[in-house]
Structure 1
Amino acid sequence: MPYTTAEQPPATPEVLHPWIAGVRTLSFTGPPEETFVRLPEAVTKVVLRVTADGRRDVLAVGPRVRASYHEGKNRVSCVELNLAPGTARPLLGVPAAVLVGRVIALDGLPGGAARRLAGELRWLDPQEAVPHLAEALPGLLSDAVDPSRTAVLRAGVDALSVRLGRGPAQVRNVARELAVSERQLRNLFAEGVGVSPKHYARIDRVRTVVTRAASARWSELATATGYFDQSHMTSDFRSLMGVPPRSYFAGRLPALSPCQAGPRT
């Protein structure tokens, strides 16, 4: 295998619950032999990356609206901290929508908390990041999450996500249930998630198709994830992944590109 990944529970430890929705550690032991796929993801991340030559980057990585395919990495270790919905502005100083498709040095963002967080993380080993943040993060924050706005946003995210036995709700129904207008819901998502409610639901459904494809028929999977039919699922998958499902799972992928070596703006 060209790389290994280890997933940690999304709430580790409890003090990070309001800020960190999930943690992933990756170790690319190389040399790369397989395509490294970055799925679409409606999540903003803080990433600590350490390369074999000792280079250390602490990055803000914005949501990805489409998949990308890379040649792989060689001897890189990193920890990815998935920010909880509604956390980007108070922690990073910018709405999540500003970061879509971007990789930015964390200390280059306007938030004072972002600069302090970059300083805290830079010289840690990736496996040390989470326990260190459990002690340091509360003291780094200068702006608090607005609890009422965040509660509405996170309820909207849950309603528009695929759950076992339940596809995503319609955006208009979610807005009605949360007692906000569709415009207000879009504004909440732009600031706290980075993409519109509709696009969030599309990304979540396609990611669910990727993870469940080995255990269900295409038609069953389309129904379970809230598509009108299999044709609708195939069209959405192609739009976000660059190839239809059958091609993706057969390894017939789009052209590869090198992994990004450093921040881009």
Structure 2
Amino acid sequence: MTNAVLRETLPTPEALRPWFAGVGSVSVGDVPTEPFVHLPEAATRVVVRTGEHGSRSTLVVGPRARASYHSGKRRVSCVELRLAPGSVRPLLGVPAVELVGRAVRLGDLPGVMARRLADELRWLAPDEALEHLAEVLPERLGAAADRSRTELVRAGVDALSVRTGRPPAQVADVARELAVSERQLRNLFAEGVGLSPKHYARINRVRTVLDHAATRPWAELAAATGYYDQSHMTTDFRTLMGVPPRSYFTGRLPEATPCQSLRRA
């Protein structure tokens, strides 16, 4: 009997790459003894979920501004498709900001395409769902997307993200480079990402710290991710993760709470 939470990155079908930033699987064993951690997440995800008794559902999980810690999951497996910036409204019919902190059934969303997909995916296994999405979505999304707005928000996301050898840019500098006002940039991010440019950048930095903390000294990692110093990194990490870095990586986590039920759109 296993109690591990297993995560795996899956190949993204080529036809979906313009619209999805990545595909992954998550499975939880029989009797979890450790909290199930939902990390801060800037992307909206379509989740094909198989429950304890084989029940299947297709969900939409919006951006998560802060980490949360839960108990009570068992025998759950999911395939998660992370939507690329700018893909939420064309696919789901709502701006990304309306989904922040929410998990809803795909068929409960108002968009015609979302309801149609929910009907089509209802009886498909996760691998079949991926094949179906790769077959039908490119044509549907190509007709629905506003390419100029999508390109702007993706350029903003790239500039505010940590890259090897390049700290993230400041919000004012990104707005200037894209020839938009900071207010316009916030509106683009609200629709295409769901979070403000500043909060997106904070999540991206903290996720980078989570990815590289085991291999780099704290001070070096703070500098590489655009923080003023290690103290600044610790403060940001505590705000988003609920505990400072050393506590998190030694297992001193916030108290876990039961998983919440789905919310209707």
**TM > 0.5 fold call:** yes
1:1-265, aligned counterparts within 5 Å?
1-9=3-11, 12-71=12-71, 73-138=73-138, 140-141=140-141, 144-263=144-263
Tell me by how many angstroms 1:258 deviates.
Answer: 1.8
- Report the Cα distance in structure 1 between the residues aligned to 2:141 and 2:224, rounded to whole angstroms: 40
Amino acid at match of 1:150: T
- Report the Cα distance in structure 2 between the residues aligned to 1:264 and 1:39, rounded to whole angstroms: 22
CA deviations on 1:147-167 (whole Å, 9 max, x unpaired) are: 111111101100000011222
Q: Which moved more, 1:125-134 or 1:181-190?
A: 125-134
- Report the Cα distance in structure 1 between the residues aligned to 2:140 and 2:159, rounded to whole angstroms: 31
Tell me by how many angstroms 1:129 deviates.
Answer: 2.2
Tell me by how many angstroms 1:186 deviates.
Answer: 0.6
Amino acid at match of 1:235: T
Tell me by how many angstroms 1:262 deviates.
Answer: 3.6
Q: Unmatched 5+ residue regions in structure 2?
A: none
CA contact 1:162–1:225 (8 Å) conserved in 2: yes
| Residues 94, 143 of structure 1: alpha-carbon distance in 2 compared, 3 angstrom cutoff | farther
CA deviations on 1:213-252 (whole Å, 9 max, x unpaired) are: 0011111110010000011000000000000111111100
In the alignment of these two chains, the number of paired residues is 263
Tell me by how many angstroms 1:143 deviates.
Answer: 5.1
CA contact 1:117–1:137 (8 Å) conserved in 2: no
| Residues 72, 218 of structure 1: alpha-carbon distance in 2 compared, 3 angstrom cutoff | farther
TM-score by length of 1: 0.94
Q: In angstroms, what is the RMSD of aligned CA positions?
A: 1.6
CA contact 2:108–2:264 (8 Å) conserved in 1: no
3-state DSSP of counterpart to 2:90: helix
- Report the Cα distance in structure 1 between the residues aligned to 2:228 and 2:206, rounded to whole angstroms: 14
- Report the Cα distance in structure 1 between the residues aligned to 2:72 and 2:226, rounded to whole angstroms: 33
Q: Unmatched 5+ residue regions in structure 1?
A: none
- Report the Cα distance in structure 2 between the residues aligned to 1:260 and 1:71, rounded to whole angstroms: 10
